[in-house]
Copies of this chain bind each other. A is one copy, B any other.
């Protein structure tokens, strides 16, 4: 059996990617030690520099390796005809977001790398923000825009997006605190779906209230002045 293109990459290289992915996610870039990575991959310490040039090179390879399939998971923006369609989409968005943050499956690894990057930025930070975070954020903005209508200022929409994202990210950042403070909380698929339900309901309530409030503000303001600034 002739080796295909992908099989050509040595086994060691692949084992190093897998092992280092785990360690980068668990400990972050700085705290992950090359020796530990090599040990977990059953490889010699020198293999890291042989295949990737440096620890940073390894990290870059890890990002590149997970980037492709991560992009597939990014929910594409759609036009929302009805409010209920937008609500369903928000449900989807939050559910997917949480899975990427909390489910420990290779499929969702990139989300955890990104979360790490948010709290402990490396050289790859800006690239990751532009390639993953900003598209996600823009998508969420347009989603929320179709929930609140065109008359709400963009800044308000952004704030709402950040409120949604903040609620989700909290369970990843502060996983250990949640464990101490709310020990009953679990991380099974079922628990995550229920959590998604809560965050969506909470957020829909929040978005609704703010939209009503802003619309009210605006009517009052425009009846007094020409336009708001």
Binding site for B on A (CB under 8 A): 28, 30-31, 118-121, 125-126, 129, 133-134, 137, 155-156, 158-160, 162-163, 165-171, 173-174, 176-178, 180-182, 184, 195, 198-199, 201-210, 213
Complex contact B210–A174 (CB within 8 A): no
Chain B: minimal CB distance from A52 (Å): 23
Q: How far is the CA of A181 from the CA of B131 in the complex (A)?
A: 12
Q: How far is the CA of A173 from the CA of B181 in the complex (A)?
A: 19
Tell me how many chains of this kind the complex includes: 2
Name which of A129, A177, A209 has the most chain B CB atoms within 10 A of its CB.
A177
Complex contact A209–B199 (CB within 8 A): no
Residues of B within 8 A of A30 (CB): 30-31
Residues of B within 8 A of A134 (CB): 180-181
Contacts A203-B206, A208-B209, A210-B201; is A169 near B180 (CB within 8 Å)? no
